[in-house]
Structure 1
Amino acid sequence: MTIQVGPATEEISVANVLYEFARLADEGTVEEIEDLLAPDMVWEMTGTVWRGRAEVVSGLASLRELGYVGPGANTRHIVTNQQVTVEGEQATSVSRFLLVGCSAQAEIRAVGGYQDRLRRVDDRWLMAHRIVQD
């Protein structure tokens, strides 16, 4: 049996990286998240810009230390309305997100959007740039 890889398969692969990032933001380790990031990753969020994988990981770790996200924060990132475009070794994704608090009664803590750019590196899609929007 031959499995053909086409554009739809690549779009699903890109979407899965971003879904994995959301899952790991809630229940994974920063080391697992780091594995999804390109070395020159850029993260932009409400006036903050982190440049390079190490700085992004450090910034994300600080959000965990503040209790906003991560294991023990009782939150879940819900990614929806995702549109992925793949062009060769580059991909873009535009999506919306909800950050839901999972206490006795679920509450929406944040609503926003992601603009992501990914790059294929050694047959893997890695996040290269994320803009978090309100």
Structure 2
Amino acid sequence: MLRAEDRWAIGDTLSLHGHLFDEGHLDRLDELFTADVVYDLTDVGMKPLHGIEEVRRAAMELGVDNPVAHHVTNIVITSEEDDRVTARSKGIVVRENGRCGSATYVDTLRREDGRWRISHRIVMARRTPLNGAHIVGTNDS
């Protein structure tokens, strides 16, 4: 079972993502990701990124199309095994024009050198209320 300190550290790691990207501290991504990170953006129309340098390069290439703010919330640790955990969280992004979007992050984190870092992230955009589930006949116009 994870200690409370580990849960806090995992939450801090997931929260650090928004701070580093929003403030443009792409030189500090090694504080957030393992060297062999896989950042899977398939659901939002981009190819998976492999390694910190590829993540950094993709952010730079996206340039002004990057969100101006990333907010993470609703962190739930769904599995744990030795120095590896899986966590789900919700992400809210704010674009320069004020439009917002929601995503679910599914992260695998590994403890390396006493620190938790993301080794695999899947980003899934939320586009449909209730993920498409609804009672037939309700609000059907």
Shorter-chain TM-score: which interval?
A: 0.7 to 0.9
5+ residue gaps, structure 1, are 1-5
> Quick check: which has more Rg, 1 or 2?
2
Q: How far apart, CA to CA, are the structure 2 residues paired with 1:8 and 1:86?
A: 13
TM-score (norm 2): 0.75
Q: In the alignment, what sits opposite 1:3?
A: none
Matched-pair contact (CA < 8 Å) for 1:7–1:86? no
Q: How far apart, CA to CA, are the structure 2 residues paired with 1:28 and 1:55?
A: 15
Q: How far apart, CA to CA, are the structure 2 residues paired with 1:129 and 1:99?
A: 20
TM-score (norm 1): 0.78
Q: In the alignment, what sits opposite 1:91?
A: 85
Which structure features the higher share of strand residues?
A: 1
CA drift of 1:68 comes to 2.7
Q: In the alignment, what sits opposite 2:52?
A: 53
CA drift of 1:96 comes to 0.9
Q: How far apart, CA to CA, are the structure 2 residues paired with 1:35 and 1:12?
A: 16
Q: CA RMSD in A?
A: 2.0
**Which of 20, 23, 34 is matched with 1:38 structurally?**
34
Give the 5 Å matches for 1:1-134: 7-46=3-42, 47-63=46-62, 65=63, 67-69=64-66, 75-84=68-77, 85-101=79-95, 107-134=98-125
5+ residue gaps, structure 2, are 126-141
